[in-house]
Amino acid sequence: MQGVSIQTSQNIALDFELAGIGERLLAFLIDLFIILGFILGLFLFLELLNTGSDILRNSLFFLIGYGYRLVSEIYFNGQTAGKMALRIKVVKLDGGSPSFAAYFLRWLMEVFDFLIIGLGVVFIILTKKGQRIGDLLAGTTVVKIRKVSAINVQNKIFMDKVDETYEPTFFEASHLSDVEVRLIKSALKTYKENAVKTPALTIEQKLKQKYQIKSDLATVKFLYTLLRDHIYYVTK
C-alpha cells in the first residue's frame, strides 16, 4: 500500500498509510448523505413552523451544506463523520497539527476539487503523497489511522534499556513513578498512531510543573528524553 513518511520537528519519522481514493470518496459520500439528511430534516421542521423566507432558508441550507466539512475537521481534529467511519484523517506533512488556515484552504478549494468533475481525484492519483489541490496548498494529506501491535510499539519506541555510553539529560527523570511513565508512553503512542499531540502537551506541562524542569526541547523530544533518562537511572 502507498504510504507517506512524515518527519516531525523532533526528527522523528512517523509512517502512515495513505487513504485510498475509494476510502476518501466513500467518506465524502457519507458526509453528503448526512448533510442532505440534516437539510431535509431542517426543511420539514421549518415547513411545519411555516416560518422564514425562501432566501433565508436557502442561505441557511447553503451555510450548513458548505460549512459542515470545515467545522467538523476543525473541531474533530481533521475528521468528519465520514472520515471517522472510514478511520482516516487529515494530517500536516510537517508533523504538526493542521492549523485553522490549513483546514480553511482545503475547504476553500473544495469548489475546484469537487465541483470540477474528477479534478480532485486526478490530483490525488498523480501526486506522490495523495494530495488534491486543497492539500497541496495547505501542506496536508489524508492518511489511515491504524493500530500497531504492542510488540512493534515496544521495539520501536519504548525501549527497556539504553546504551552503556548514554548520558542522561534530566536527573528528575529518576523520580518518575510507574504511573507517570505509563502516561508518557500512552501520550507518545497516541501521537505516533493518531497524530494527536494534546495528551503529550498535557503530560509535558504537568511533569515540568511537578519536578520544576526547565527545558527548551520540543514536546515529543522532551518526553522521549525523559523516558530514556528514567530507563538509564532504574537500570544503572
Q: Answer for the pair 99, 93: CB distance below 8 angstroms, yes or no.
A: no
- Distance (Å) of CA 215 to CA 108, 166, 194, 222: 39, 19, 26, 8
E strand intervals along the chain = 3-7, 13-17, 88-92, 140-144
pLDDT for res 152: 40
Hey, what long-range contacts does 211-216 have (CB within 8 A, 24 or more apart)?
A: 211/172, 211/175, 212/172, 213/170, 213/172, 215/170
pLDDT digits (tens, 9 = 90+) for 3-59: 776 665 545 556 778 898 899 999 999 999 999 998 888 888 877 877 666 777 778
Cell numbers describing residue 44: 420539514
pLDDT digits (tens, 9 = 90+) for 95-139: 677 889 999 999 999 888 877 767 888 999 899 899 999 999 999
pLDDT digits (tens, 9 = 90+) for 166-177: 888 888 888 888
pLDDT for res 72: 94
Q: What is the DSSP letter of 156?
A: H
pLDDT for res 24: 92
User: In this structure, are strands 88-92 and 140-144 parallel, antiparallel, or unpaired?
Assistant: antiparallel
| 141: helix, strand or coil | strand
> How many C-beta atoms surround the C-beta of residue 236 within 10 A?
9
Cell numbers describing residue 112: 475546484
Size (the chain), residues: 236
**Helix (H), strand (E) at residue 104:** helix 100-108
pLDDT digits (tens, 9 = 90+) for 132-180: 999 999 999 999 876 433 334 344 445 556 777 888 888 888 888 888 9
Cell numbers describing residue 1: 500500500
Cell numbers describing residue 194: 493518531
Which residue ranges make up each domain of the chain?
3-144, 150-235
- Distance (Å) of CA 22 to CA 18, 33, 232: 11, 16, 47
